[in-house]
Amino acid sequence: MPFSKNIDVTRSIFNDLPSGITAGPNAVAYDDRDTFEIRVLVRNLSDINIDSINITEYFRDFFKFIDVTDNTIQYSINGSTLILQNISIPAKSEKLLYTD
């Protein structure tokens, strides 16, 4: 069994802007009432299934974590640390996770 697995993790931020505002889908929030979604894409680049993947995310104190909106993902939150837990991905596939 190899020491490490070949995975790729990327994240994108999408702001929930009011209608009528002309801005791109990843425009930055401008006040404390804005809600944005963080999408984490995990890709398994290997030829074998990978289980028990944990992803740790840190966020600044001025952001308020609301929820992981993907009910298939276990997570824990402690202060400004979010841990997405026990993610399983089949070989040569990807999984998109959503948080607010």
What does the pLDDT look like over 23-68, one tens digit per residue? Answer: 665 566 555 566 667 788 899 998 989 998 898 888 877 677 777 8
Q: Is the pTM of this model over 0.85?
A: no
- Tell me yes or no: is domain 7-99 CATH 2.60.40: yes
More reliable by pLDDT, 81 or 100: 81
Would you say residue 96 has pLDDT above 80? yes
Residue 64 exposed, middle or buried by CB count within 10 Å (0-12, 13-18, 19+): exposed
Contacts for 48-51: CB closer than 8 Å, 24+ residues apart: 48/5, 48/91, 49/88, 49/89, 49/90, 49/91, 50/5, 50/7, 50/88, 50/89, 50/91, 51/86, 51/88
Q: Determine the pLDDT at residue 93.
A: 93
The answer to whether 16 and 34 have CB atoms below 8 angstroms apart is yes
